[in-house]
Copies of this chain bind each other. A is one copy, B any other.
Amino acid sequence: MKKAVILVSGGLDSATVLAIAQAAGYTCYAVSFDYGQRHSAELEAARQVAARAKVEEHRIVSIDLSQFGGSALTDESIDVPDANTSEDAIPITYVPARNTVFLSLALAWSEVLGACDIFVGVNAVDYSGYPDCRPEFIRAYENMANLATRAGVEEQQLTVHAPLIDLTKAQIVQQGNELGVDYSLTVSCYQADATGAACGVCDSCFLRREGFANAGIADPTRYQ
């Protein structure tokens, strides 16, 4: 069985990606990040998602991005805005270089594991407008990763899979539902409380709620 490293955030998208990688026959190694995010409910959700999927191993890597700040998700002094209230192209919930940092740590682990496949749940349709969720970023990252590592010298091919990138949130929910993902374990909210209950008003809650509604699937989210 081929090994793959899966970025698992505790949210809806990455839980779906994990199910997709398992259905494709990969032995899955899940990695999550304790990065100074606002709430720990996200990491607890990641633990539950990884455990339910019976992954080969689940690592939680500590990397404090709050030391750089610059985002409502890592700086307590910046409020998380309600959905669709920002005029800016890039909202204040964007965490600078977050996906680049996360993919790079996943890359380090994959190289040691001898895994040639990394799965990430980025999405460029129903998303918050972050630059590091676009298809051109993923392609450029994969190209760089193949030059950065042993793969570039030993003529292996490292692939960064982003199976959700062109899907709507409704399509993601439908696909996960067919694969048996238990979305009640997942937390998408940018400011969930300690129990994982969602605010219902942030951009991420808005997209998630719309996704279930458009998919015609009951929304298992617990709201505050």
Contact = CB atoms under 8 A, between A and B. Distances in A.
A134 interface: yes
A61 B67 contact: yes
Given A67-B61, A144-B144, A111 B89 contact: no
Contact of A104 (B67, B97, B150): B97
Contacts of A194: none
A148 to B, nearest CB: 5
Nearest to A139: B147
Interface residues of A, number: 44
Contacts of A134: 147, 152
A154 B89 contact: yes
A223 interface: no
Given A96-B112, A96-B150, 19 more contacts: A61-B67, A62-B62, A63-B105, A70-B112, A94-B150, A96-B107, A96-B149, A97-B105, A99-B148, A100-B144, A101-B101, A101-B105, A101-B107, A101-B108, A103-B104, A131-B150, A132-B147, A140-B140, A140-B144
Interface of A: 59, 61-65, 67-70, 89-90, 94, 96-101, 103-105, 107-109, 111-112, 131-132, 134, 136-137, 140-141, 143-145, 147-150, 152-154
27 contacts: A59-B67, A61-B67, A62-B64, A63-B63, A63-B105, A68-B109, A68-B112, A69-B112, A70-B112, A90-B150, A90-B154, A96-B107, A97-B105, A97-B107, A97-B111, A100-B148, A101-B104, A101-B108, A103-B104, A131-B148, A131-B149, A131-B152, A140-B140, A140-B144, A140-B148, A143-B144, A144-B144
